[in-house]
Structure 1
Amino acid sequence: MKFKFLVLGIVSSVVFGFVVKEKQAYQYKGYHLVWSDEFNIDGVPSEKNWNYESGFVRNNEDQWYQRENAYCKDGFLIIEAKKENKANPHFVSKNHRDWAQKRDSIRITSSCLITRGKHSWQYGRFEMRAKIPVAKGMWPAFWTLGIKGNWPANGEIDIMEYYRGKILANVAWKSDKSDTEWDSATQMLSDFKKANWADEFHVWRMDWDANFIRLYVDNQLLNETKISDAMQGKNQKIHPFRQPHYLLVNLAVGGDQGGEFTAAGFPSKYIIDYVRVYQKK
């Protein structure tokens, strides 16, 4: 149930157990807001901002991505992982070499929203306020990919990733040392002193310029990557972190990293208050 009341002229509401004020983007000194989605209109997420991935996409994950599992309600974007049982329209054979085509059925559905083809940015402060699901097998993420090149040459930045009790902040690229080089930082959920930390909203942030990528949660620095370290390849044609990136926000289930899940974890909701991009003036 939703209760509205007036406090100093600001409309507020109680939603998901939290008092939520009508949102106004914070103005950081030296930055200006260049893009945001506050999810203030109930229903389908803004078509001006988001496209969707579809089907079984990556990492042997168990969920089938579909746009129906993402919706806006009471000022939040909700990505919901649900148990379903329907045929996989791309099924070929249980012996097929493509993992996405050897599954005869869809057991879990969820959503992945992306700004690819609609919005991308080079450098800035990227910010999300959200409450993440931490049930067994859940794998929520807030991340970016470069617009040019195939993965990992285009560059990947995981501003927020969670699975198996761990918060991760990662940067990945292609190098001469290995096909994919990772600069990863991990913090166990149990390391946060507050017992109900996972039941609250938190702010994940990336500060990115021509020299560094810095990843934070609630102003706590988790990882810092020197961009020149990702520009050492002798045959490197793309500078992965000196090009525009687009955003992805998704709730994966299981797969290579999410691990086993149980029926008790469904439905599971990834609740996002806002996503904002600032750039320096």
Structure 2
Amino acid sequence: MDIRKNIGTILFLLLSVIAQGQKEYRLVWSDEFDVDGRPSKDWTFERGFVRNQELQWYQPQNAFVKDGCLVIEGRQEHRPNPDYETGNGDWRRNREYIEFTSSSLTTRLSRQFLYGRFEVRAKIPVASGSWPAIWLLGNKWEWPLNGEIDMLEYYIKDGRPSILANACWGASERWHAIWDSVVTPFIHYTEKDPDWANKFHIWRMDWDKDFIRLYLDDELLNEIDLKQTFNGGYNGNTENPFSNNVPGFKHYILLNLAIGANGGEPDISQFPLRYYIDYVRVYE
């Protein structure tokens, strides 16, 4: 266990009310990942093949806390797909074998939020095939009517490694999304610091009823005007999934490392992939 980190964490937690920017925020929840072993009970896991025809099979054992960080590990593993069915049209069931595994953690069952400041300090894998993310989903309605906020996505976009800061909401057709996305080529960071990928960085979201602002190391990446984010009317839903008065409507956090799909062809020589999260903090 890193004693210096623990001392820093204690000092940090003593400042439960802090002034940041022009607003005063109060820490309402955090996970500092200080205790080695399994992640805390605030996190539950997605399992199996989940979305986007990605290559990885999600399983809890690829996520663990060590030396003050949550580690999500992408591994090359070959074993039978327990859900395989010959001739099934569902991509989740027509793959005979699992070739890669990883983890996806969510606060859906424990911690949900509406507005505030969200901070995640992390070191991301950038090898070909990596698709790390920090994101939020709404707890009502199906995607994308529930709204998606991507504080971080890293993957290949238009042939270039890129960091994305996005939000999306529902269009007029089922499962069609309207996106507000900013794509920053990864070279933007590595030209300034060739060692960028070997360091921790802070992804931040400031979210109120009017705007979502997404930052990386205090650099504003995307400002989303919530007057423009109303659902397009599919199934009669014209709600705003980021700014509304629907009783109980909130968003939950997801941390995951996908492999393949948008991440590109995996570079096997770089496995296992490791995504390190130092802390997750939420202020209101």
Q: What TM-score does the superposition give when structure 2 sets the normalisation length?
A: 0.88
Distance 1:36 1:271, change over 3 A: same
- Taking the aligned partners of 1:228 and 1:176, their CA distance within structure 2 comes to 17
Q: What secondary structure does 1:12 align onto?
A: helix
- Taking the aligned partners of 2:173 and 2:37, their CA distance within structure 1 comes to 46
- Taking the aligned partners of 1:46 and 1:111, their CA distance within structure 2 comes to 14
Matched, 1:60 2:53: yes
- Taking the aligned partners of 1:262 and 1:212, their CA distance within structure 2 comes to 38
Among 180, 188, 193, which residue is 1:191 paired with?
Answer: 188
Report what 2:246 is aligned to.
none
Distance 1:52 1:232, change over 3 A: closer
Following TM superposition, by how much is the alpha carbon of 1:228 offset from its aligned partner in structure 2, in angstroms? Answer: 1.3
Q: What secondary structure does 1:198 align onto?
A: helix
Following TM superposition, by how much is the alpha carbon of 1:131 offset from its aligned partner in structure 2, in angstroms? Answer: 0.2
Aligned pairs for 1:35-46 within 5 A: 35-46=29-40
Percent identity among equivalent residues?
48
Report what 2:8 is aligned to.
22
Aligned pairs for 1:64-75 within 5 A: 64-75=57-68
Distance 1:177 1:103, change over 3 A: closer
- Are the equivalent residues in 1 in contact too, given 2:231–2:241 (CA < 8 A)? no
- Are the equivalent residues in 2 in contact too, given 1:149–1:238 (CA < 8 A)? no
Report what 1:276 is aligned to.
281
Among 153, 161, 168, which residue is 2:164 paired with?
Answer: 168
Distance 1:273 1:21, change over 3 A: farther
Aligned pairs for 1:99-118 within 5 A: 99-118=91-110
Report what 1:212 is aligned to.
211
- Taking the aligned partners of 1:42 and 1:231, their CA distance within structure 2 comes to 42
Aligned length: 262
Matched, 1:83 2:72: no
Aligned pairs for 1:119-198 within 5 A: 119-164=111-156, 165-176=161-172, 179-192=176-189, 193-198=192-197
Unaligned runs of 5+ in 2: 244-248
Distance 1:21 1:197, change over 3 A: farther
Matched, 1:253 2:251: no
Q: What secondary structure does 1:99 align onto?
A: coil
CA-to-aligned-CA distance 1:121-173 (integer Å, 9 cap, x gap) = 00000110000000001000000000001000000000011012100000000
- Are the equivalent residues in 2 in contact too, given 1:169–1:222 (CA < 8 A)? yes
- Are the equivalent residues in 2 in contact too, given 1:148–1:238 (CA < 8 A)? no
- Taking the aligned partners of 2:225 and 2:215, their CA distance within structure 1 comes to 15
> Cα RMSD (Å) of the superposition?
1.7
Following TM superposition, by how much is the alpha carbon of 1:74 offset from its aligned partner in structure 2, in angstroms? Answer: 1.0
Aligned pairs for 1:234-249 within 5 A: 234=233, 235-242=236-243, 243-249=249-255
Unaligned runs of 5+ in 1: 5-10, 14-19
- Are the equivalent residues in 1 in contact too, given 2:120–2:203 (CA < 8 A)? yes
- Are the equivalent residues in 2 in contact too, given 1:215–1:224 (CA < 8 A)? yes
- Are the equivalent residues in 1 in contact too, given 2:154–2:164 (CA < 8 A)? yes
> Aligned partner of 1:263: which letter?
I
Following TM superposition, by how much is the alpha carbon of 1:21 offset from its aligned partner in structure 2, in angstroms? Answer: 5.9
Report what 2:230 is aligned to.
231
